[in-house]
Amino acid sequence: MGTRAGIVVTGTEVLTGRIADRNGPWLADRLLELGIELAHITICGDRPDDIAAALRFQADAGVDVILTTGGLGPTADDMTVATVAEFSGRELVLDIELEHRIAAILRRLMERYPGADFEAVMAANRKQALVPAGATVLEPVGTAPGIVVAGTPTIVVLPGPPRELQEMWPAALATHTVQQAIAQRSRYRQETLRMFGVPESELADSLRHAETEVAGFDQLEITTCLRRGELEIVTRYEPDGERSYRKLVEFLQAEHTRALYSTDGATVDEQVAALLAGRRVATAESCTAGLVSARLTDRPGSSAYVAGGAAVYSNEAKTAVLGVDAGLIIEHGAVSEQVAEAMAEGALRRFEADIAVAITGIAGPDGGTDEKPVGTVCFSVKTADGAGRTETLLLPGNRADIRERSSTVAMHLLRTVLLGS
Amino acid sequence: MGTRAGIVVTGTEVLTGRIADRNGPWLADRLLELGIELAHITICGDRPDDIAAALRFQADAGVDVILTTGGLGPTADDMTVATVAEFSGRELVLDIELEHRIAAILRRLMERYPGADFEAVMAANRKQALVPAGATVLEPVGTAPGIVVAGTPTIVVLPGPPRELQEMWPAALATHTVQQAIAQRSRYRQETLRMFGVPESELADSLRHAETEVAGFDQLEITTCLRRGELEIVTRYEPDGERSYRKLVEFLQAEHTRALYSTDGATVDEQVAALLAGRRVATAESCTAGLVSARLTDRPGSSAYVAGGAAVYSNEAKTAVLGVDAGLIIEHGAVSEQVAEAMAEGALRRFEADIAVAITGIAGPDGGTDEKPVGTVCFSVKTADGAGRTETLLLPGNRADIRERSSTVAMHLLRTVLLGS
């Protein structure tokens, strides 16, 4: 007998599509890792009746645990805790100690707003210290505490901001109440493979062949998805499926030697960061205008290997900042392999880097021609010791897709050259 | 009396978070435009029992219309039509005319795959021509037809691929059955306000005062949310709430004169883009390393006003690329208002821009000191004619939060200086 869970996402801004829900998918992943089956996600607005109906639905579906997100703020439309209290037949009581801890957080926060009225803010936040009788309090990450209410089902009340929810999750999971509620779950392993440069249909074909080639294939629960222009293959199996999983990896490695770039789940960003140890990278970006630079510096400690970057959107900037020969731009066009190479060389010099990546392309919606349609993007990676690689691709999608896909291609080109040099 | 609707998203890949649901938010927008109130979105897997439970839940919640997405394909796990037929007590009948039309579509598609077995494919697709008795068929956009089943509630069955769903939607809406089901809908207006630089709890406090100060406040349905470090306030009202809404805006303008920067829903990005008309902007970024540059160029046509940007992560790059005096960095530190100003001036010169924004800060997790803790960020905006503004903030959150929040602060500083110059 396994454990089933349901997720209740609250928030009118999520229900009406103004904010994309990031919590449902994130929690779904966590449940999957834990071996808990997810029955339903429901999204409702801030109205207590709708929240109560969603709780009732999940309870009637027989889930062991309900996770709620959102509705813990200080404003009048934040009603999750009160609704959960009523749903579980418990009174709301003021937790004075908790109120003091919230006050301390607020006092620190408000030092940034010299004009603000602390007493007024505190009054608004007092409701965040109201807790269903007998519930377990999860310490606030922002200003809102989470709540665990034991019962059938057990209800875990989490905040809406994804960063707060994600930071609070381990504490929720560690509570005795939650551990008891999920004690019956199955134990699964989960592994992730990553591929780049192969269409999804080709992977689907390989997996169909794997069905007959890999002994014990039916022990593996495989889901594939396209993410940021890459293929992610997640496999879940019970411990005795280990041998079959190893065989599957071998099979896919043989079929997709070049495309299968990660067998331990590491992303290309993580691989590039590791390969850059002891070197310094520079970027020269036209159509992506800083996306690759921002992506390389996402990671803590990246100042050790990122020298800098130039967003050279205009032709004048390409010449003035990176020393690209104006004649080269006239002769070949700003979107050309020649200009991409000159940009990479300019970035190497300008930032005194060991390796540089350059991107110049047409992200659209305007600017395309018959010869160079929207989606045409030239990439060049150069190293200080003269190695490198240059290529031109035609990328699908809209402006945002083309820009993001370009940043992924740039990371893979960096990876390839770093591995070869 | 208004009309209420519910959305049932089906698909194990969506439930488990492998694929982000784009249909729920898209349909939510369409319902909002129509003045139909959305009660719940539920997401479930491909199992008929779970789909039926979700339909039952929405029907019990008293919605007038249920929209379902997904589960219309030819494979065995596509069960939505059969489940809807059973739910509404109708037999599934083969629509022979529809089967012929699907066959014609498939024949055309299969011309691309010379080896494929047309009869086998047709057999798999025959189930797509099974329709609940008396239902209205929506012509396929891909190969799957949609279905409208009249009843209480009326059920509209739509395909899963967003492009197919979006193209089919107008036909669904145009059916007599759907028009009848939504005839009672209210006509709502919806307006958006945006604030920056005020904590959410202070807005909550203002809204509590507005309750007594603004006549007809209870005609307004207000939702507030924090997004990218800003507050978004969306108000929905029936046409006769117009006067109350105007009063609310006046009230908030008086209370938050500086913070309330948008009363027409325009984002700071849109405002900055409009203010930049006829001018060219440059960026000089240290801790954000391209985020502001990428954000400025998100918009089509931004090449008209974006000159370029430098990501100067290292001190050497600040000096080599932007001409920041190395002595200044030694004297005041890389994270200082003096260096921010020199970076902005360097970007003005280097990119021959009319206005430049510079950001230098400590995004963490390392690098903080007692004097300059993690989150300390210096901003400077300078114009070619000598105007400008420089400030230092202490931003909350983790590395990603601090970087994103910094890009928002930079946009607002640009806006302020552009308005003043």
Find the CB nearest A57 among B57, B298, B317.
Answer: B57
CATH topology of domain B4-181: Molybdenum Cofactor Biosythetic Enzyme; Chain A (3.40.980)
Query: What is the mean pLDDT of the segment spanning B368-381?
Result: 95
Percent of chain A surpassing pLDDT 90:
73
CATH code of the domain occupying A190-266: 3.30.70.2860
Nearest to B52 by CA among B39, B41, B64, B68: B68
CB pairs < 8 Å spanning A and B: 275
Dump the DSSP string for A24-39: HHHHHHHHHHHTPEEE
pLDDT digits (tens, 9 = 90+) for A240-262: 999 999 999 999 999 999 999 99
pLDDT digits (tens, 9 = 90+) for A136-186: 999 999 889 999 999 999 999 999 999 899 999 999 999 999 999 999 887
Query: What is the mean pLDDT of the segment spanning A330-342?
Result: 97
Nearest to B81 by CA among B51, B53, B103, B111: B51
Distance (Å) from the C-alpha of residue B221 to the closest C-alpha of chain A? 10
Give the tokens for residue A110.
């408000």
- 3-state SS class at B16: coil
CATH topology of domain B269-420: Maf protein (3.90.950)
HSE toward the beta carbon, residue B348, CA cutoff 13 A: 19
Residues in chain A: 421
Query: What is the mean pLDDT of the segment spanning B274-288?
Result: 96
Query: What is the mean pLDDT of the segment spanning B383-390?
Result: 95
What pLDDT does A281 receive?
97
Q: With an 8 Å Cβ cutoff, are B306 and A293 in contact?
A: no
Contact B146, B158 (CB under 8 A): yes
Chain A residue with minimum CA distance to B306: A313
Tell the residue number behind the tokens 């930032």, with chain if given.
A351
Q: With an 8 Å Cβ cutoff, are A223 and B16 in contact?
A: yes
Q: Which residue has the higher pLDDT, B107 or B268?
A: B268
What pLDDT does B318 receive?
93
What's the mean pLDDT when you consider all of chain A? Answer: 92
Assess if CATH 3.10.350.10 describes domain B189-265: no
Q: Which residues of A touch B161 (CB under 8 A)?
A: none
What pLDDT does B137 receive?
96
As a whole number of angstroms, the distance between CA B319 and CA A375 comes to 35
Question: Confidence class of residue A223 from pLDDT cuts 50, 70 and 90?
Answer: confident
Distance (Å) from the C-alpha of residue B334 to the closest C-alpha of chain A? 13
Nearest to A71 by CA among A152, A134, A164: A164
B199 Cβ contact partners less than 8 Å away, ≥ 6 residues apart: A109, A110, A113, A116, A121
Q: Which residues of B touch A40 (CB under 8 A)?
A: 15, 42-44, 50, 53-54
Q: Which residues of B touch A76 (CB under 8 A)?
A: 204, 207-208
Give the tokens for residue A128.
């965040």
pLDDT beyond 90 at B114? no
The domain spans of chain A are: 4-181, 190-266, 269-420
As a whole number of angstroms, the distance between CA B12 and CA A39 comes to 10
Q: Which residues of A touch B227 (CB under 8 A)?
A: 19
As a whole number of angstroms, the distance between CA A72 and CA B200 comes to 12
Distance (Å) from the C-alpha of residue A24 to the closest C-alpha of chain B? 7
Nearest to B68 by CA among B20, B122, B21, B113: B21
Q: With an 8 Å Cβ cutoff, are B61 and A40 in contact?
A: no
